[in-house]
Structure 1
Amino acid sequence: MRFLLIILRGIGQVMFQNNIYSGVLFLVGIFFNSWLLGLAALSGTLISTCSALILRYPKEDVKNGLYGFNGALTGIAIFCFFEVSLTTILALIIGAVLSSIIMYYLKKITLPFTAPFVIATWILAYLLLFVFKVPLLSTSVSTSNTLDILASFSNSFGQVMFQENMITGLFFLLAILVNNRLMAIYAVYAAILGSLTGWLFLESVSEVNAGLMGYNAILCAIALTGKSWKDFLWISIAIILSTLLNIGMGLTGLITLTAPFVLAAWGILMLKKVKNSL
């Protein structure tokens, strides 16, 4: 039972919610959209958590799910981009283990956020593509020319875990709300501002509606949540910065994942530290 609670916390920590009920709601949302990606999330969390236990990483961190969420994201990403096969299953296992190892060492230097997931997934995805010649899954692209605020808002929440589904997005928002109302309010603000920023910078409406301009913004808002007006200003800057980074990195052809969030959050924390030292 205790191990199950650790797994649920690990899934909840994808959006920095150390709450088993958040973890349950995230899981329900993923399974609502895709049973395969739901299994991938569970598998990634289990493997990365067990890896941390075997490697004897700090028990309190493991207990709080800090060695589960990057594995969950890595697991989802592998089966989101590639078909299920023996090769991709092995990639999921290796990626989840690697995410825990990167988490442990990166944590000694800075706040890792989802950087372990990004690094592990980049390594495995590009190995699968260019070394093992595993093709990417084909995806259908919407050709909508009309901005749909509701769709972009809800899908932004879903896209944090690669789910383009409005109902799933609402489950994710509820998962944040049950743990922290202020974070939920900031997440709503981020989803809207991030989507509008992408639209104003002439990103395709289909990408905005799919939530691809809002999910990094949501993570920035949650990670930097605070109660002062200064926090509001920093969060607003981070939201816009992460969206612009998302657009810029996308132009290079790179699989952006949550790298724009990580870079924006690190940048804002560094600026805050410099400002406070003056």
Structure 2
Amino acid sequence: MTDNQLGEFLRARRAAVRPQDAGMASYGVRRVAGLRREEVAVLAGVNADYYTRLEQGRERHPSAQVLDALARALRLDPDAHAHLHRLAGTVPSGRFTHTTDRVGPALRRLLDGYPGAPAFVINRALDVLAANALTEALYSPFGQMDNLARMTFLDPVGRQFHPRWSYAAEATVGHLRQAAGLDPDDPRLRELVRVLTEHSADFTRLWNTHAVRGKTLDAKHFLHPDVGPLTLTYQAFDVRDAPGQQLVVYQAESGSPGAQALDLLGSLHATSRASTSAPR
């Protein structure tokens, strides 16, 4: 990560907006994939030279009003809009603190209170900090259940486990981009990005788009070698007494094939654990 994250974000998001998307006519030979700097400036109602200095890192303190105008010009969704403000420092730094990786005993008991649903706790870098038995069963095809991004991009199982791998990869990188805006100095996140960039061209390509995505509610598609395809929804909840941690719970619609597959997966995992722990 560089020291001009605001400029890189603006440049990447500008490249993702076509003139016709913004209601502008395209003219002349275009050297860029998306909008020109001058076009963004017109759409946002700011001086073109001022916008250029923002991208180049020569201006680092835009007002909240300018950022809101740029967000509209670049057609940013709410997650990306908030990320833009964080990069510019217009969100009070006191709202965001370094996370702790310690999961309290009460939260661990809560995980075990979801015997029929995979439930786990992650930090901003997508490290899995704690998980219940059904989560372990769900992710058992992986060599190690340690970090969701590493598992997606660097474990060979990832592309088979995620039948919609491209979508899962984009979402994963979007979550990490949001985390970088929340805590850009997090050493764990910096090291993770370094490793993923070094070993995965797909990660590097997606990381350079600067797309941002929050983890709230979505559908997940899995292909488990023991029970076949599963379609689950998930919800993510902030852990109030541990800023940066999230509790994630997967669920299947009652009576659906996904629910039946989860039941079977839980039974298989319980049987396997019992046979492994039985005295010999």
Normalised to the residue count of structure 1, the TM-score between the two structures is: 0.25
Comparing both structures, which one devotes a greater share of its residues to strand?
Answer: 2
**TM, length-normalised to structure 2:** 0.25
